[in-house]
Structure 1
Amino acid sequence: MFHSQVIPPSQKPPTFATALQEEFLLVDLQTLDVIVEQPADLVRRLREQLGEKIRPEFLGAQIRTSTSFHESLVEMRKEAWQLRRQLADLASEFGLAPMAAGTHPFADWHRQRQTQDGQQHGMVLELRDLSRRLLTCGMQVKVMIEDPDLRIDLMNQVSYFVPHILALSTSSPFWLGANTGLKSYRISAFSELPRTGLPDLFDSWADFEAHTNVLVKSGLIEDISRLWWDLRPSSRHEALEMRVADSCTRVDDSVAIAALYRCLLRYFYRLRLKNQRWRSYARMLINENRWRAQCYGTDAGLVDLGTGEIRPYKQLLLEMVAMLQEDAKAMGCLEELETCVKILGRGTSAHLQIGAQASALRSGRSEQEAWLEVVRLLLDMTLAD
C-alpha cells in the first residue's frame, strides 16, 4: 500500500499535540426538541466561566466546545469531559441539556434562527438559506504538525482513511422525523455547502497557498477557515484538522477516533523518514468508500483500494489498529486506540439510535414516543462518564 519516494524529512519532528472540538445541540428538557435561540443569560454565563472554550455555532440550537492542545489524550479526554459537564450544569439551570449527535431525530430546521456572532453572520450572507439547514453537529480533531510542507504531505496521505474514520463516528441516521437509511445523514446536509468533501492533492505548502490565495485575493473567502473540507490545515494553529466525523455521543468514542487519526499521522510521518509514503489513489475511488461509510457506516465494508475488493470493515479496522500499535505505544494512547474496536463491538451511535427506536416501536409505543426515547438515550450517553 506504500511506495518509495525520496522526501527530505523535516528537521524537527512534529509534537502531535492534539485538541478536540465537539458540537452539540441544546435540547429543551420538557419537549426534548431543540431550542430555537439560546438564552442570552446562558450565553453570557458560559462566556464568563469558560471564555473561548465554549461558543455558539451557526444556529440557535448549536454550541461547541474546544479543548486545549494536549500531548496526553488522557488529559484531553479529562478536559473534554469537564467541558461537557460544565455545559450541562449551566444549561440545566435553563431547563436545557446538550446532546451529542450528528442530527436530532425529529427537529425541524425551518424553525431555527441564526446566531448573531459576527463571523457566523458573514457565513449566513454567503450561504443564504443553506445555513439554516445546517442543523447538524460534527467533531474536529486538530493535531499539531508544525512543518507546513509536512502538514500538506500528511493531509494527502491520510485522505485515504477519511471513510474509515467517518464510518466509526456515524451518529446521524434520522432527519425530520424519518429514518434516512443512512448512518450519516449529516454528510448529505453538509455537502450542500461549497468547498466540502475531500481536499485536493497539493505538492507542497507553497502549492496549497498558491491555490487558496486565488480564493482569498478574489474575495471569495476571507481565509482558509472557509474551506470546509474533510481535512484541512488549521487557520489558527500549526495543525491538521480532521473534520469529517459526526459528533460522537460518548466522549470516549470522540477520544478513540482522535487517537486513530493521531496515530495515522504519526505512522505516515514514520514512513516519510524511511523515504516512503502511502500510495496515492484517485479521489473518485476514495469518494466511493466515503459514500459507503456515509450510507452503511461499519456494516457493509469498504473497498480495499490495494486489492480492488470490498472487505468487511471489522477486518480493515483490526488491520489498522495492528498497524498503528507502535505509534499508539509511543504516544501513550494504546487504550484509546483499542477503544475503536469496542465501538465496533457495541455499535456506533447510529446503530444504538436505530435500535432504540425499533425497540420502542416493538413495545407498542407511538412513533413520536419512539423518537423521544431516542433523544433520552442520546442525552444519557452524552453525559456518560
Structure 2
Amino acid sequence: MRVDFAPSEQSSVGIEWELALVDLASGELTPAAPRLIEACQGGEDAPIRKEYLQEMVEIVSGVHARVGDAVADIAASLAIARREASALGVGLVGAGTHPFSRASAQPRFSGERYDVVAERNAWWGRQMAICGTHVHVGVDHRDKALPITSALARFYPYLLAVTCSSPYWEGEDTGYASQRTMLFQQLPTNGLPWPMSDWAEFEEYAEDLARSGMITVPGEIRWDVRPSPRFGTVENRTGDSVPSLAELGCVAALTQCLAEHASRSLAADATYESLPPWLVRENKWRAARYGMDAEVITPRRQRPVPLREGLAQWLERLEPVARDLGCEAELRFAAELAERGASYERQRTTGDPRAALELLLAETGRQSPFAR
C-alpha cells in the first residue's frame, strides 16, 4: 500500500483536546455533543468537533510555530464551547476518565467508521468513555517520521506522567495514575508503535493490515505515537486529557522539544536515543500505574531512575531547544507539576470521586491548576 507523506514545517505544532460533557445538576456524563456542536457551529473540519461518543467533544487548534499560539487558539474555541455548554446546563471536563459515570451507558455517534469500531471491539468498545490529548509535530521529510515516532515512544513515561488524570473509574480508585492508558491499548492497532527501519516497511505493514481486514485506510493505525501522513506530522497520543491550559501547553511543549531534539540528532549523526521495545512497554506500564512516582528504565540501564529525576534532567537538557522554539515557560511547567502534583494526584487528594469531579470542573479551562 502506497502511503504518501506530505512534509510540513519542522516542529510546527497543533493540539487536539478531548473534553467530557457533564450534566451540571447530576454530575453524570451527558450525551450533549450533538446540541453543543450545533450551537457552536462546529463540525468535521471546524475547531469544535464530535468524537466516538456523544458525551464528549474535541477542540482542535490550527497549525502554529509556537506552543503558546496553539494554546491561545484552543482557549478561544474553549470560550465559545463553555458559553454554549453553560446555556445547556453542561460542564466541560478535561480528564482521561470521568470519576464515576458508567462507561457502557454512554451512547455513541452512528456512521460507517464508528459502527465498525463498535462491532469489532464489542465490550471493550463500550468502555471507550475516555478522553486524551493529542499533539501533532511537523516533520519536514518522510524519512524522519518513523525515527521521530520511535524517539517519542522512548520518552513515553515523561509524556504520560505530566498528563495522568484518570485514577478513578466508575466510582472506584483503580490504583493507576492513568486508567485511560490501560483501556485504550485494548483495541486492535492501538498501543505502542512497532519499530521500523524505513518508510517502505511502514507501507508494507499498512498493506498487511488492509489485506487482513484490520484497516481500510492508514489513519486507522492508532498507535500511541504514530506518523500522520496526511498532515506531515508525528502525533503524540500518549496523554490523558488535562484540565488546565498550562498542562495542555506543557505536554505540547515537551512533545515539540523532544521531537525537535530527535530531528537535530538525526541531522547531526543519523542516530537518536532508543530503548528495546520490551523496555518501552514496561516504562509505559510503570507511568500508567505510578505516574510521577514511577521508576524509569533508560538507555543507560545500570539502574532505574526515579521519573521525577529523569524528567528534571531532560528539562535541563531541552532548555536550548525550548528557547529556540519559544516554549520555555510551557516546558518549565513540567517541573511545577512534578513538585506540586499532576491531575491524578490532585484528584486523589480530594479523597472522593464526586469531590474529584468538582475539582475537575473548577480546573478545566483555568490557566493553571495552582491559581486560586
State the TM bucket, normalised to the shorter chain.
over 0.9
What's the CA shift for 1:54?
1.4
Matches within 5 A, 1:1-385: 14-35=9-30, 37-38=31-32, 40-48=34-42, 52-357=46-351, 370-385=352-367
- What secondary structure, in the 3-state scheme, does the structure 2 residue paired with 1:155 have? helix
Alignment partners' CA distance in 2, 1:178 and 1:113: 22
Equivalent residue letter for 2:126: R
Measure how far apart 1:232 and its partner are.
Answer: 0.5
Distance 1:256 1:48 in 2: 26
Q: Distance in 2 between matches of 1:169 and 1:345?
A: 14
Name which of structure 1's ranges 84-93 and 215-224 shifts more when overlaid on structure 2: 215-224
1:9-64 alpha-carbon deviations (Å, 9 max, x no partner): xxx995211000011110000001111x2264333222359952111211121211
> Residues 169, 42 of structure 1: CA spacing in aligned structure 2 closer, same or farther, 3 A cutoff?
closer
Partner of 1:362: none
* SS at structure 2 position matched to 1:143: strand
Question: What amino acid does structure 1 have at the position aligned with 2:73?
Answer: E
Residues 1:47 and 1:274: Cα distance change in structure 2 (over 3 Å): same
* Length-normalised TM-score, structure 2: 0.92
Structure-2 change in CA distance of 1:196 and 1:49 (3 Å): closer
Unaligned runs of 5+ in 2: 1-6, 368-372
Q: 1:125 to 1:346 in 2, by over 3 A?
A: same
Largest Rg, 1 or 2: 1
Aligned CA distance change for structure 1 residues 13 and 267 (closer, same or farther; 3 Å)? farther
Letter in 1 for 2:358: R
- Would you say the 8 A contact 1:162–1:244 is kept in 2? yes
Pairwise CA distance, 1:191: 1.9
Q: What amino acid sits opposite 2:166 in the alignment?
A: S
1:40, 1:322 → 2: CA distance? 44
* Cα distance in 2, alignment partners of residues 269 and 116 from structure 1: 40
User: How many angstroms does 1:300 deviate by?
Assistant: 3.2
- Say if 2:8 and 2:138, in contact at 8 Å, map to a contact too: no
- Tell which deviates more after alignment, 371-380 or 179-188: 371-380
Given that 2:189 and 2:221 are in contact with CA atoms closer than 8 Å, whether structure 1 keeps it comes out as: yes
Paired with 1:276 and 1:43, the residues of 2 have a C-alpha distance of: 45
Give deviations 1:107-157, integer Å, cap 9, x for gaps: 101211111244323322332332221011111000110311111121122
Whether the 8 Å CA contact 2:33–2:54 is kept in 1: the answer is: no
The aligned counterpart of 1:364 is: none
Aligned residues: 361
Structure 1: runs of 5 or more not aligned:
1-11, 358-369
